[in-house]
Structure 1
């Protein structure tokens, strides 16, 4: 029986061993309740979407390779999905949070997202993907930090700010949605918010009194990392800080060649990281401005977003005119050249020790070519719709990835054309058939009158070219095949094209869409389906235990608990820690029996 004197030590060793095994990739847990609150960011009370009663929502702050577990309780009055813009979800489109892969979270039910930020760094954001809900909020920033062993290509900043900018309407998102469905334009926004707040009263005529504005408190001489995300509906915004240079260092998970800008155009859905040094005289505070681009400035002045940069030793409030935006309303060349100037820092490490430029994308042979053309809205079957290559996407009742898993036929068609349709536009659930380990060239041709930005879930693509006019085969001669930036969202100027290259190494069903919320709502999207012909868990994770079922698979839905915040649906964490707990209890029971 003397052997059992060592059981406690043995138990401790087993526990320590298991903890050590799981410690390499730690887990980060969040519990969210998504609900409506009343707020008045522009001085008019309205319904906004909050997370844990906060608008905007909390920042998800994690480190490369962390496992992220987010339990979402839907306390809205309509279905909900959260999507994680720019998070690549390696091998795991089940967690993407869009209708092509996930059934919605019903009202009063919760669902646990669980994914690993595998081999990623940088600045991203999340938002609700259904029912035009992003127009009411529900968004927040995502920070993925480098692991300590991976060098960052700049000194450690003295602080870190997340800044969410976006155009905003005082109408409820449900009213905006109804207007679009009734073939109406949304009209001019009512303002631009900065971190969910209205403008500082820089002009007593344009800005009413009593509006709450954002203030960024800084110390003189310090350098701060400022992460700016355009979470708005459809408006490209110019971001600038009065009298301060913006040193661009990262965009959507890629370190950039470091360049100074006095201001930068940020299209809908885009994210940038700047280093800003507080090197100015602190005689007054300074303006932080987000103003609409490519619009009639005389009409849009009241829409400008303004926050305050406040030095700790400031002598007074900011006053006087705002810093000027670029003066190029009739010529978008300046903005395009600025976008072209954003290049990949090929010598910096990303999430791995090897340089970003070790992946020589310019020497890979293209296997698939798609020209995706958008036009102004059209009428199809009496409805106002937007299109890609003449097809207006229709979401099926059964998500595509779920239909594949259960072999449900007729949900979608793998017939998306390589070239735009020449006939009448049509509505269809038409999907791109991607080749696993293929290398796809996508040309985004914008024949609309407004800037469109495009995003691809599950991937960072290489931006290799953009120019005005129609893309032709000869346009490839202008491609940047060495240090084109890798990112997940890119703008396409009116009457212009942008070319991207995508290495199709991430198995799943991935959304390719415009980030302009009005165009997206009306059908300007598709999906890229990428299947490994040799199915295994190494290239795609299995369907999660807590999967939701809808459409033709509704009968498979398991009962869920309402208002159950501590959901035990986390299959990975539950599996690992339940194993530890079970071993501990088994050994303890044996010890007590035989002692």
Structure 2
């Protein structure tokens, strides 16, 4: 009996210690529970399988504040592995929670796993999504907002409301079918439509839009100013966003307040987020169209690929009608869009070993079986190579786990050259980089003379126009292993990515947090998963076990690995 009591007291002490370590942190904590499941939805009028979070598509908005600790417990009820990544979120001193295969082992079906990270000194508008197996094409995404602390002023008055808008191209085929298409060496073809907040277009045209499709309605009060945060969460299509008869006053993009200037429309490329201040200063004779239409494509053929929502004044007297507001009339001249991008202060797919692949600098990335950061921790040899080329390869392309070696507290210049005929956007996890230049043709050393070295915008995702280049500068102040990728899902799936490995030679917890206790193991370290010592807390009981399994927790009992 005494031994049993001592054991229970020991367990209670461990539980209290772990509880206090979460609750007595220096900065506040926001917590969420995500349950990923398949549901049937009909965003374009055809029933299909989509990925929902807590039964909703899109998923919930994560609302946090600068320096908050963010805890997200993910329960994977899909039939395949999953990871959630946090696009644009600069996790403080830790890439362990980044949610991509270079840093995390995947969460298997029927497993729980808890992300626990602190956001850096940042504010702004972002989104999260599943990073594996083309899953974002079926959903699983949602907004992620970081508000400033109350003592920090913003460069504009507090808006009357905060509205999140997720736009993106959409296929009726689910992500597994789309993967098969790419694996067979074929392109995905034209998407079936554009969704706004997971819903199809308002029936503005009886020929282009079938009856019975549910559309998004944004309710507003006349005379008030709202902050509208718009993210392109789609597969690969750049979209032009506009609201009929309303000016878009640009206020922020991915954590940077911008020079405030009005646009009648703005191109938002895959993976990018902008927030606008929009004043409801029109009369209420009718509702107004909110439009997201495809860019840099044959617009007459892609006319049906248009997302349409409704902006509804509370005193509106009628439905929106008539033609949609026009997109930019520059089908044969992309200079307008590039100049617009400047005002906000790759090679084509190849065949390697008989398979269609995409490359960066001639290297098509192969995801390691043992994540890079985990391989470093346990000194696993041969998991990757620090040989990513500083110049594009002149020889044949190759498939490798080739990584960029960064110097802590150094600077890195990255030239993104797009020799394809389609638009690309590129993203770097863990960082905001400075977009210092872009231009058409091939980048040369002389191009540095055109760089904006004074007020270039800092962001985490930038567009690279067809037949053009974009230059970014990065201050390497965030230790870890960080993903550099195209946000176009098809090219990302085919290998257009790499990682930047940034190590502080001085081992301490000030620049990088230690490996989390609940780290998953896979690849060369999978044996550690079986015998690792872990706690599992269930809602009904506590178990001390020596195998990381779901013993003791019913399927709906809320078991959580800590």
Same fold (TM over 0.5): yes
Shift of 1:118: 2.2
Using a 3 Å threshold, how does the CA distance of structure 1 residues 23 and 99 change in structure 2: closer, same or farther?
A: closer
* Matching of residue 490 in structure 1 with residue 479 in structure 2: no
Query: Contact (CA 8 Å) 1:165, 1:232: kept in 2 or not?
Result: yes
Using a 3 Å threshold, how does the CA distance of structure 1 residues 419 and 114 change in structure 2: closer, same or farther?
A: same
Query: Contact (CA 8 Å) 2:112, 2:560: kept in 1 or not?
Result: no
Please give the alpha-carbon distance, in whole angstroms, between the structure 1 residues aligned to 2:205 and 2:452. Answer: 44
Please give the alpha-carbon distance, in whole angstroms, between the structure 1 residues aligned to 2:483 and 2:180. Answer: 24
Cα deviations by residue, 1:200-227 (Å, 9 ceiling, x for unpaired): 0000000000000000000000000000
Using a 3 Å threshold, how does the CA distance of structure 1 residues 565 and 453 change in structure 2: closer, same or farther?
A: farther
Indicate which of 218, 237, 252 corresponds to 2:239: 237
Q: Which residue of 2 aligns with 1:57?
A: 59
Aligned pairs (5 A) from 1:158-307: 158-307=160-309
Using a 3 Å threshold, how does the CA distance of structure 1 residues 543 and 260 change in structure 2: closer, same or farther?
A: same
* Matching of residue 424 in structure 1 with residue 396 in structure 2: yes
Please give the alpha-carbon distance, in whole angstroms, between the structure 1 residues aligned to 2:149 and 2:508. Answer: 29
Cα deviations by residue, 1:535-594 (Å, 9 ceiling, x for unpaired): 111111000000000001001114132747645545xxxxxxxxxxxxxxxxxxxxxxxx
Cα deviations by residue, 1:62-120 (Å, 9 ceiling, x for unpaired): 11111110000000000000000000112110000000000000000010000111211
Q: Which residue of 1 aligns with 2:100?
A: 98
Shift of 1:498: 0.3
Please give the alpha-carbon distance, in whole angstroms, between the structure 1 residues aligned to 2:516 and 2:559. Answer: 14
Query: Contact (CA 8 Å) 1:199, 1:207: kept in 2 or not?
Result: yes
Please give the alpha-carbon distance, in whole angstroms, between the structure 2 residues aligned to 1:84 and 1:567. Answer: 24
Shift of 1:329: 1.3
Please give the alpha-carbon distance, in whole angstroms, between the structure 1 residues aligned to 2:109 and 2:378. Answer: 25
Q: Which residue of 1 aligns with 2:488?
A: 516
Shift of 1:190: 0.1
Q: Which residue of 2 aligns with 1:398?
A: 370
Structure 2 counterpart SS, 1:482: coil
Instruction: Flag structure 2 segments of 5+ consecutive residues without an equivalent.
Output: 1-16, 533-547
* Matching of residue 324 in structure 1 with residue 326 in structure 2: yes
Shift of 1:327: 1.0
Aligned pairs (5 A) from 1:559-578: 559-561=548-550, 563=555, 566=558, 569-570=561-562
Query: Contact (CA 8 Å) 2:60, 2:143: kept in 1 or not?
Result: yes
Q: Which residue of 1 aligns with 2:526?
A: 554
Cα deviations by residue, 1:133-160 (Å, 9 ceiling, x for unpaired): 0000000001110101100000000001
- Normalised to the residue count of structure 1, the TM-score between the two structures is 0.87
Structure 2 counterpart SS, 1:93: coil
* Matching of residue 437 in structure 1 with residue 409 in structure 2: yes
Shift of 1:22: 3.4
Q: Which residue of 1 aligns with 2:385?
A: 413
Please give the alpha-carbon distance, in whole angstroms, between the structure 2 residues aligned to 1:221 and 1:26. Answer: 35
Query: Contact (CA 8 Å) 2:67, 2:119: kept in 1 or not?
Result: yes
Q: Which residue of 2 aligns with 1:383?
A: 355
Query: Contact (CA 8 Å) 1:432, 1:528: kept in 2 or not?
Result: yes
Q: Which residue of 2 aligns with 1:577?
A: none
Please give the alpha-carbon distance, in whole angstroms, between the structure 2 residues aligned to 1:564 and 1:96. Answer: 27
Please give the alpha-carbon distance, in whole angstroms, between the structure 1 residues aligned to 2:85 and 2:50. Answer: 18
Query: Contact (CA 8 Å) 2:23, 2:29: kept in 1 or not?
Result: no
Query: Contact (CA 8 Å) 1:94, 1:102: kept in 2 or not?
Result: yes
Please give the alpha-carbon distance, in whole angstroms, between the structure 2 residues aligned to 1:186 and 1:109. Answer: 31
Please give the alpha-carbon distance, in whole angstroms, between the structure 2 residues aligned to 1:301 and 1:524. Answer: 29
Shift of 1:19: 11
Higher relative contact order (CA 8 A, sep 6+): 1
Please give the alpha-carbon distance, in whole angstroms, between the structure 1 residues aligned to 2:497 and 2:207. Answer: 41
Q: Which moves more between the two structures, 22-31 or 108-117? A: 22-31
Structure 1 counterpart SS, 2:228: strand
Structure 1 counterpart SS, 2:386: coil
**In angstroms, what is the RMSD of aligned CA positions?**
1.4
Cα deviations by residue, 1:219-255 (Å, 9 ceiling, x for unpaired): 0000000000000000000000000000000000110
Please give the alpha-carbon distance, in whole angstroms, between the structure 2 residues aligned to 1:324 and 1:252. Answer: 27
Query: Contact (CA 8 Å) 2:113, 2:560: kept in 1 or not?
Result: no
Please give the alpha-carbon distance, in whole angstroms, between the structure 2 residues aligned to 1:506 and 1:117. Answer: 12
Please give the alpha-carbon distance, in whole angstroms, between the structure 1 residues aligned to 2:366 and 2:440. Answer: 30
Pick the structure with more helix per residue: 1
Please give the alpha-carbon distance, in whole angstroms, between the structure 1 residues aligned to 2:155 and 2:22. Answer: 30
Indicate which of 123, 126, 136 corresponds to 2:125: 123
Shift of 1:396: 1.2
Using a 3 Å threshold, how does the CA distance of structure 1 residues 202 and 379 change in structure 2: closer, same or farther?
A: same
Q: Which residue of 1 aligns with 2:14?
A: none
Structure 1 counterpart SS, 2:96: helix
- Normalised to the residue count of structure 2, the TM-score between the two structures is 0.92
Query: Contact (CA 8 Å) 1:454, 1:490: kept in 2 or not?
Result: yes
